[in-house]
Amino acid sequence: MTTYVTRFGSLNQYEKGGVEIIDDDPKRYTFSNIFDVAAHSRPYEKVAVGKNRQYVLEAIRAEGDSDWRRTAHDEFALVMDGEVEVVLHRLSPDEEPPEGTQGSIQLGHEPAGPRMGRVVARRGHMTLLPAHAAYRFRAEKPAVVLLQTIEGADTLYRWGEICQTH
């Protein structure tokens, strides 16, 4: 009887597949790898690895403390490698992002609103980053987060560097 081994990737061990073109342009497939992107990112850079109109998927290298960020809509953080602590505070009224803000923006100071709680998430764990909250990531060792969100002022686009082009 076969013993099955489920293969996940990690910062230290990942192997990319790829696009094999028959009659097409590889750029149309925007092919990248989350671990490859995080391996070449600075801590907490929000690098888009997916974009569908205004919506993005950001690959984030979590390492040390992030800045405090605030959001007006739900976001979802999926840990792909390592362990990440998320601390949440309710935004006070004057901390709310300006009307129409999408994605998350810097808070710029310690949160003034009440502490909501914390989550410690490891590989495969998905954490809700709720609307009207401030959050901070902390990772003792380099970790990788995939963030489901909307494009914001701090979303970085490096398609030419991260994607297969030929």
Instruction: Please state, in angstroms and as integers, the Cα–Cα distance from residue 48 to each residue in 6, 7, 14, 112, following that order.
Output: 26, 24, 19, 30
- At position 138, the amino acid (one-letter code) is R
Kindly state the smallest distance separating residue 36's Cβ from other proteins, in Å.
Answer: 7
Q: Is 4 in the site for other proteins (CB under 8 A)?
A: yes
Q: Is 73 in the site for other proteins (CB under 8 A)?
A: yes
Kindly state the smallest distance separating residue 141's Cβ from other proteins, in Å.
Answer: 17
Beta-carbon contacts of 24 under 8 Å, excluding residues fewer than 6 positions away, are none
Kindly state the smallest distance separating residue 29's Cβ from other proteins, in Å.
Answer: 5
- At position 160, the amino acid (one-letter code) is G
Our CB check for other proteins shows the closer of 126 and 153 to be 126
Asked whether 41 and 146 are in contact (CB, 8 A), the reply is no
- β-sheet bridge partners, residue 109: none
For the chain, what's the residue count?
166
Q: Is 53 in the site for other proteins (CB under 8 A)?
A: yes
CA distance 166 to 105: 35
Stretch that binds other proteins, among 61-69, 71-79, 92-100, 104-112 (CB under 8 A): 71-79
Q: Is 121 in the site for other proteins (CB under 8 A)?
A: yes
- Which residues of this protein are in contact with other proteins, per CB under 8 A? 4-9, 14-24, 26-36, 49-53, 55, 57, 73-76, 78, 80, 86, 88, 90, 114-128, 130, 133, 146, 148-150, 157, 159-160, 163
